[in-house]
Amino acid sequence: MKWLHYGALLLWMSLSGAYAQPPISFGREWQFAQYLADKEAVTEAVYVLERLEPLAQTNAQRDSLNYFRGWLAYTSKDLTVAHRKLLSVSATSPFYTKSRYFGAYCLAFVGNRDSARVAMQTLPTPDSTFRELKALQLGGLALLQRRYADYEAQRQSFTYRSYALVNEQQRLNRYDSTLRAEKRRSPLVAGLYSAALPGLGKIYAGKTKQGIAAFLPILSLGLLTYEGLRKDGPRSARFIGFGSLFTVFYVGNIWGSILSVKVKRNEFRREYDNKILFDMHIPVRNLLN
């Protein structure tokens, strides 16, 4: 009889276990999101984490959640969400150091350079390598903002001894020299050059092919205008038509030369900004990922 009772009890427990809704715990859901992220199901992992937010009761849970949401956003290149979530991880979290470095880098990458500087000034430095890493981040940011004196100050902390940092430190030094030596070309001079000889302003700005390409049609139109003037006189439709076209192209080329100085300068800056950001990123990944 007793054994019958035990059997019934076992059956009841099995059935109740099979049909009851499983309790949802923060830790288990976090592990599940991790499981999904490991399987590269990032959209699904984000969905699970978003539904987990109301369950985060303690600071530690909120930190874990913010870190993971931020990290997933970083891996899927949604850097605006990434820096917002990563920088809200508190100092008591085991993810704090990693979150701060990646969050500050994301801020710098999306162009919030002043906010990035504030975030980078409070980066944690548990040892000498991290002190150098912090200096490298602040130095890189100083270069992005073209604050050469600040870069000089940060560079004093570079020892060039850490394998994870030495290449990037040397490259930042090179960028510093190149950026300082950047020739400041004047839009006004470019405009004057193009007024004197069409296309010359673009060559001065550093766009040689564009300069030649601008010179040839203007020369052709100039010759056609001259032919119209010489053969048919100043009141002829030929002279007025070609003359008008020549004027439009001539003035347009002067304006284009002025703009091309700015375009070339932006291209140069963008190229170096990308290089600097790349060299800020690599050591953070190597040391913290």
Partner 1 sequence: MITRFCLICTFLCATCLTNGQSLAQWWLQQADSLAGAGRFFEAGIAYDRVGFEEADSAARLSAVFGKVHCLKQQGRFAPAVQYLNGEVTNIYPDSVLLVLRHEQITCAYLAGQFENALSLLERLPYLHPDRPTETPLTRVVRILSLNELQRWPEAGAAYQQLLAQAGADTTKTPYRQLPRLKSEQKAERLSTFIPGGGQFYAGKPGEAILSILVQSAGLYFGVTNFLAGYYLSAWGVGAALFGSFHAGGIRRSQNLVKEYNSRQVRQFNETVKKEVLKQVDK
- Residues lying near partner 1 in the complex (CB under 8 A) are found at 2, 6, 9-10, 13-14, 17-22, 31-32, 35-36, 39-41, 44, 47-48, 220-221, 223-224, 226-228, 231, 238
Structure tokens at 237: 């439709």
Q: Residue 48 and residue 125: Cα distance in Å, rounded? A: 33
Q: Which is nearer to partner 1, 18 or 149 (CB)?
A: 18
Task: Give how far Cα 239 sits from Cα of 209, 215, 224, 229, 236, Å.
Answer: 29, 20, 8, 5, 5
Q: Which is nearer to partner 1, 74 or 239 (CB)?
A: 239
Q: Which is nearer to partner 1, 52 or 123 (CB)?
A: 52
Structure tokens at 288: 């913290």
Q: Min. distance of Cβ 19 from partner 1 in angstroms? A: 7
Give the angle subtended at the CA of 179 by the CAs of 175 and 182, to the nearest 5°.
140
Instruction: Please tell me whether residue 246 adopts helix, strand or coil conformation.
Output: helix
Q: Which is nearer to partner 1, 153 or 224 (CB)?
A: 224
Q: Min. distance of Cβ 87 from partner 1 in angstroms? A: 28
Q: Min. distance of Cβ 228 from partner 1 in angstroms? A: 8
- Looking at this protein, which amino acid is placed at residue 238? R
Q: Min. distance of Cβ 243 from partner 1 in angstroms? A: 13
Q: Residue 39 and residue 158: Cα distance in Å, rounded? A: 39
Scan for tokens 């003359």, then name that residue.
243
Q: Which is nearer to partner 1, 44 or 150 (CB)?
A: 44
Q: Min. distance of Cβ 43 from partner 1 in angstroms? A: 8
